[in-house]
Amino acid sequence: MASTHNAAANLVAATVTGKVTDVVTGAGLEGIEVHASPTDDSGGTEGHATTGRNGNYQITNLNTGKYELHVSTAGKFEPPHYMLNLTQSDNLMGRNFKRIEVG
């Protein structure tokens, strides 16, 4: 059973999910690193995830604040990044990337 403190912490944390695919085949890409990096000093926390077999990723437990979401694996991706302004309990879905060039 989760403690009250942990339950409260989960209410303020934000989550970002998406998928990384190949632009030509549309197939999900496994093993791609996606990072959420704070862009200001508003208390944001660094977060990252590695895509699974189908190219899906999920970054959890991000504090409120402004972030740049980007792929750190070699190659060229579209879009190159997303700028996010996360607020309490955000659940942002569909932040997808397409690999347009292998690096």
Which residue ranges make up each domain of the chain?
A: 4-102
Domain 4-102 has CATH 2.60.40.10: yes
**Mean pLDDT calculated for residue range 27-48:** 92
Residue where the block lists tokens 């792929």: 71
Amino acid at 59: I
Taking Cα atoms as reference points, which of 88, 52, 48, 53 lies closest to residue 69?
A: 48
**Mean pLDDT calculated for residue range 34-45:** 88
Residues 6 or more apart whose Cβ sits within 8 Å of residue 87: 14, 64
Residues 6 or more apart whose Cβ sits within 8 Å of residue 90: 14, 15, 16
What are the DSSP E strand ranges found in 8-64? 14-22, 33-38, 47-50, 56-62
The pLDDT, as a whole number, for residue 42 is: 74
